[in-house]
Amino acid sequence: MRTLISILVANALFMSGASLAADSDVQKIAELEKQLAEITDDLDYLNSRVDKTERHSALDRIEITGDFRTKMHSLHYQNVTWNPAMNVNFSDFASKAMAGDFGDPSSASSPLGQMMAANPDLATAFQSGMLQGVMPMVLAPKTQQDIDNDIFYTTRLRLNINAKVWDNVSFAGRLTMFKSWGDSTGVKVFDSWNSFTMDGTSSGSTSGDELKVERAYFNWKDINGSGAYLSIGRRPSTYGLPSHYRENELRGGTPSGHLVNFNFDGATLGYNLSDITGIEGQTVRFCYGQGFESQYGNGELFGDIVTKDTHLGGFNIDVLNDGNHFVQLTLFGAKDVNDGFTGTMAFPSQLAGIFAPTMYQDMQKFDNFNFVTRVQPSDVIGDMYLGGLGYAYESDEDMKFLLL
């Protein structure tokens, strides 16, 4: 459109030059200048129309929606027990101590000598043969108390991004901000696994005012005209049945929420069976993902990594999904589960006194300080296999019934 109008303007200028050469009429010059001004105004108007159309066409490909939630909590705990202890293989400890792995017990500067000096009762019991095999070792005196948090506010913002890439290819993503009022540090003092910031739960627990990528994946549907589909990316693996009822929202995740409610990166290969079986909403999926990367980023170039990558896999089958009845079968496995995850935390001074006594002495000078540290697992503990069958009924009057 811009090119066509430019040509018309050029023609007008050419015609004006010819007219001037013909009769040099001042009145015609004025008329031509007026026409040129009108054409310029029309050009600006049409350009603005074209720009708006192109912009609207581009934005039609992307849909942004979202939800905003503020909650008020009142938390009360009764008989909270602080009783730190750990199981110790004293027989193995004794053999290593006799071999000198922990230094000379008679030397006050050796690790073993320091431990015996700090725990004289434990040293006496050990030397008298009272501690053998695997036994619990108490690390601090037992205490018990009630804890009351009368008021606690949280705010959650979620932005959904959907885009149609091609006729049968689409993108879906969700950005989440979830924070406690008055706190945007992003790291909490470690007093439970709920306070541990890690990849799988970074968007599901309060972590500051930053937007986190909770999910981002593409769907390639009806591959080669069949009912097969492929999806790769950060999976929609949270808020599945029945956890979405607690959130008072539509089902937001593929797997069963009481088995898998954990963000991970991976892929899904599925097939819609409805056209074959005649059962509405019947879909079978094989899901794969990785829950932990053991080497890259964990100091692999030092050559002392003993953990392994955690690979996830399983089948998720929607047996029936007709809008009222929903039956789902989930089979899930995790290979090479480690004794933790990579994450960050603010190290509590209560644990420093037990596990880091030298550092604890320095921390006493700053009793309101906690150092932030990166944590990673130390060993592989085995494999995990889970399975479940769930049924949910939702009436047209919004009555819900759940059986797991």
- The domain ranges of the chain are 2-58, 85-138, 147-403
pLDDT at residue 16 greater than cutoff 60: no
Lowest mean pLDDT among 36-40, 247-251, 329-333: 36-40
pLDDT at residue 374 greater than cutoff 70: yes
DSSP state of 259: T
pLDDT at residue 160 greater than cutoff 50: yes
| Encoded tokens for 284 | 């079978």
Please report the pLDDT score of residue 8 as a whole number.
47
Please report the pLDDT score of residue 215 as a whole number.
96
What value does the mean pLDDT take over residues 95-99?
80
Contact 308, 336 (CB under 8 A): yes
DSSP state of 161: E
Lowest mean pLDDT among 40-44, 93-97, 224-228: 40-44
DSSP state of 189: B
Contact 163, 62 (CB under 8 A): yes
Q: Which helix (H) or strand (E) element contains residue 266?
A: strand 265-272
364 pLDDT tier (thresholds 50, 70, 90): confident
Give the model confidence (pLDDT) of 289-348 as tens digits: 999 999 999 888 898 899 999 999 999 999 999 989 999 999 999 999 999 889 999 988
pLDDT at residue 149 greater than cutoff 50: yes
59 pLDDT tier (thresholds 50, 70, 90): low
**Mean pLDDT, the chain, whole residue set:** 85
Supply the pTM of this predicted model: 0.76
Pick from 8-22, 50-64, 270-284 the range whose average pLDDT is largest.
270-284
Lowest mean pLDDT among 64-73, 219-228, 352-361, 374-383: 352-361
Please report the pLDDT score of residue 9 as a whole number.
47
Please report the pLDDT score of residue 388 as a whole number.
93
Please report the pLDDT score of residue 20 as a whole number.
45
What sign has the CA pseudo-torsion 107, 113, 114, 119?
negative
* Helix, strand, coil percent values for the chain (each to nearest 5): 30, 40, 30
Contact 218, 169 (CB under 8 A): yes
pLDDT at residue 1 greater than cutoff 70: no
Pick from 110-124, 152-166, 186-200, 340-354 the range whose average pLDDT is largest.
152-166
